[in-house]
Structure 1
């Protein structure tokens, strides 16, 4: 979908995953969870000052810092200067970052519990708003290509998250 500004693209992906919203929140805001969702295609580093921490515990407006984007986990392809602009712990975060090649990068993720009789499930929704920087924005078809790649990438992330949450929820409880 295109936004009111002709050069912005808005990509929306939603899916239902196993597990409570609290459990899903813990996973999607952890560095391991983020990198697992993106793998094996992409991995993000974290600034030294933020390593081992969760974006789920930051104050709105917190600049996390510069993260390197690594294709297949080792080929540098860009930088993401991450800021968590908004957060409602257990429910949503809004990342507004400066990213290589993008004039606008906003990632808004929400979690909504379902009332499924078969067990606890959560609706995960990602809405990405992007606009490429010049000169990329002037290349014919560039916006459509970015939109197609991001749709596929976030569908991949949702499949990986669903698989991980299913495995976590079907694992036997630890022995006492």
Structure 2
């Protein structure tokens, strides 16, 4: 199977700090995904921060399509973290041979830009998975635009 690559960028009228806090909060992550997916986190986990261990699973997360149907499971793993600027999540998933999600937050005129760079290799149905991931991240960026409008 071939490696897929997608990139999404949105400039928002907010500060880098506010956008970074949102991007690394469990509340923000869940809000971006809803209602397409619900992601589960352990109780008590509120934020990804500078103390997050790199290269080791932070937790096990389940993805529920439309908040109901089990779709996938991830051992959420961060491999790079530059607080206030960038993270790289490279997590084992049932559905992917490779999943790498880089989020970068940078200053922009009148606000900040959030960029998501994805690399992934689906285990099956690559065209369908690519379509779903593309639409899902378009949804996430639409939620960001609405949230920070």
Q: Is 1:162 aligned to residue 145 of structure 2?
A: yes
Match of 1:132 in 2: 122
User: Following superposition, which runs of at least 4 residues in structure 1 exceed 3 angstroms of deviation?
Assistant: none
**TM score, norm. by length of structure 2:** 0.92
Match of 1:55? Answer: 48
What is the CA–CA distance in structure 2 between the aligned matches of 1:31 and 1:53, rounded to whole Å? 5
Larger radius of gyration: 1
Which structure has greater helix proportion? Answer: 1
The alignment covers a number of residue pairs equal to 148
Task: Please give the TM-score of this superposition, normalised by the length of structure 1.
Answer: 0.79
Secondary structure of residue in 2 paired with 1:47: coil
Bigger strand share: 2
Residues 26, 56 of structure 1: 8 Å contact kept: no
Match of 2:82 in 1: 88
Q: Name the CA shift for 1:81/1:59 in 2 (closer, same or farther; >3 Å).
A: closer
Residue segments in structure 1 that go unaligned for 5+ positions in a row = 1-5, 137-141, 167-176
1:104-143 map, 5 Å? 104-116=98-110, 121-133=111-123, 136=124, 142-143=125-126
What's the CA shift for 1:53?
2.7
CA distance in 2: counterparts of 1:129 and 1:75, whole angstroms: 25
Report what 1:27 is aligned to.
Answer: 22
* RMSD, matched Cα: 1.5
**How far 1:62 sits from its partner (Å)?**
4.2
Classify the secondary structure of the residue corresponding to 1:160: helix
